[in-house]
Chains A and B, each alone.
Chain A
Amino acid sequence: MLDRSDCRSIVVDAESLPQLQTLLAGIQTSLLILIPEVDECRTLQEQWPIHHFIGLRDFDGTETWREPAASDNSTAYLLFTSGSTGTPKGVVVAQRNVISFVDYMVERYQINENDRLSQTFDMTFDLSAFDMFVCWERGALLCCPSRKALINPGKFMRDMELTIWFSVPSTIAFMKQLGALKRGNYPSLRLSLFCGEPLPVSSAQSWLEAAPNSVLENLYGPTELTIACTLYRWNAASSSRESELGIVPIGYPYPGMSVLVADQNLNEVPPGGEGELLMTGPQMSLGYWKDPEKTAAAFVIPPGKTDIYYRTGDRVRRPVDRGPLTHLGRIDFQVKVMGHRVELGEIEAIVRDATGFDGTVAVGWPPTPSGYGGVEVFVEGTASDPEAVRRSVACRLPDYMVPRRFHFMGQLPRNVNGKFDRKAILNLLEGGL
């Protein structure tokens, strides 16, 4: 798919460098690889002569640049997400997917040249595409904090006089702990957007006390459906009632996007029923790069339908009448860690490889209002050098996926079927292990 769509470049940030070797191992065509946080890339260049690496020193800005021709189905970007087998999946997002998204966003939010937007997302997180494309489409100002500045997001917001804030909901809980959500603290904000993980009702309420002039919207969307594909505007009168499990609804589909809430046979559930969320429409990406099997498993034609739908793996409630969609959790072993999508299986695969022990279970821990603070790993076996295991795992995973603790045990709890009992393992952690 990369070949067909002429995608020829990738951007790699410092945190993703450890995964670069794995990604490049499967690529036969020449790529342009930008690593802006590295001064120069001679070592990588010598190791992978078919690709071209560009580091910070190579950006001298003197050469003339012309916009390349692109068709609707050209690849806008290829974004790798956590995969359960240990190898990340590359989502192929087309020009028309992104254009459809950006056009709707700039109109809905009336973005203009007086706006000042936050840029809190890593380049490896597709929500960063909102920050850049939506902002620049209307000539607004994008304010990029340093890594340290994000330790105190409130100060950054005030110093930059932001009008639009966009982050994961975890940031709200973080700021609350720092004492940064005092009443009326952020009067300059006119719009606050949250996406990437469930938004707790209590977080939305605290945020609006601190940002009284702001409209608040909760966005939802997997990378495969291009950045965000449903949204919900908070309403003080009705939102608490419409929320379920203390989580703000994910709302209504973007224009042109269709929703199907289905049971395990992919048949639609009745109104009010629970099921997996499937969606189709102009923002549905082209599939997984060079992986027809995984593409076929996730992009399906449900019984009685003629269109291809993407299976999100998210559990939702089908609305009654014209109510909003509510998010109920995941149907698999994917968790959210500080807003990042994490397949626990990917971490387990890498830990198994590092220790040589098959009995490995990764769990999200500790729970936070919107997911988990990190990941912990349980291994059936003893390690002679736990620190060496940690180091070896840490250099193959981005920071947020590195287990915060390793527990080596003689035997892991199992259920009656002989499978590892995740619930019993979580009970150990709840008991203060």
Chain B
Amino acid sequence: MNQFDPERLRVFLRNHVTEKLASQGREAPKELGDDCDLLLSGMIDSLGLLELMTAFQEHCGCEIDFDALDPEQMTVVGPLCDFVSSQMARG
């Protein structure tokens, strides 16, 4: 299992969101399901989304072309992690 496996990316995303919420004095939900929309659920705002994109790029050590991702899916846990993973697999 490589470090850009979708499951590992889910763990990374959950840690990132939990950390961000904690810094705002907020508690993260116990589960972060695949169909959870981070934006619509109020867990992140548009600035938070940028921070998350930057965190993914730092984690992966390269630029990721998020422009190719459908905006309907961009803030949803499952599709977002699968997208990043597929981008990394393509190299």
Contact = CB atoms under 8 A, between A and B. Distances in A.
B25 interface: yes
A154 B69 CA distance: 11
A387 interface: yes
A341 to B, nearest CB: 18
Contact of A179 (B25, B26, B45, B63): B63
B71 interface: yes
Contacts of B64: 179
Interface in B5-28: 23-27
Contact of A404 (B24, B49, B50, B70): B24
Interface in A210-230: none
Contacts of B46: 151, 174, 338
A269 B74 CA distance: 51
Nearest to B27: A387
Contacts of B25: 386-387, 390, 405-406
B50 A180 contact: no
Interface in A167-208: 174-175, 177-180, 182
A156 B71 CA distance: 9
Interface string A132-175: 00000000000000001111101110000000000000000011
Contacts of B49: 151
Interface string B27-57: 1000000000001100001110110011000
A175 B24 CA distance: 26
Interface centre among B27, B45, B64 (most CB of A within 10 A): B45
Given A151-B49, A374-B47, A405-B24, A179 B67 contact: yes
Contacts of B66: 152, 178-180
A379 to B, nearest CB: 12
A158 B46 CA distance: 21
Contacts of A338: 46-47
Contacts of B70: 152, 155
A390 B25 CA distance: 9
A162 B80 CA distance: 27
A177 B50 contact: yes
A66 B23 CA distance: 54
Contacts of A149: 71
A46 B27 CA distance: 36
Nearest to A433: B23
Contacts of A404: 24, 45, 47
Interface of A: 148-152, 154-156, 174-175, 177-180, 182, 338, 373-374, 386-387, 390, 399, 404-406
Given A148-B71, A148-B72, A155-B70, 16 more contacts: A148-B40, A151-B39, A152-B67, A152-B71, A155-B67, A174-B50, A177-B50, A177-B53, A178-B53, A179-B67, A373-B47, A387-B25, A387-B27, A390-B24, A404-B47, A405-B25
Closest 8 A/B residue pairs (Cβ): A152-B71, A180-B67, A386-B25, A373-B47, A151-B71, A178-B66, A179-B65, A179-B67
15 contacts: A148-B39, A148-B40, A148-B72, A148-B75, A151-B71, A152-B66, A152-B67, A155-B71, A179-B65, A179-B66, A180-B67, A387-B25, A404-B45, A404-B47, A406-B25
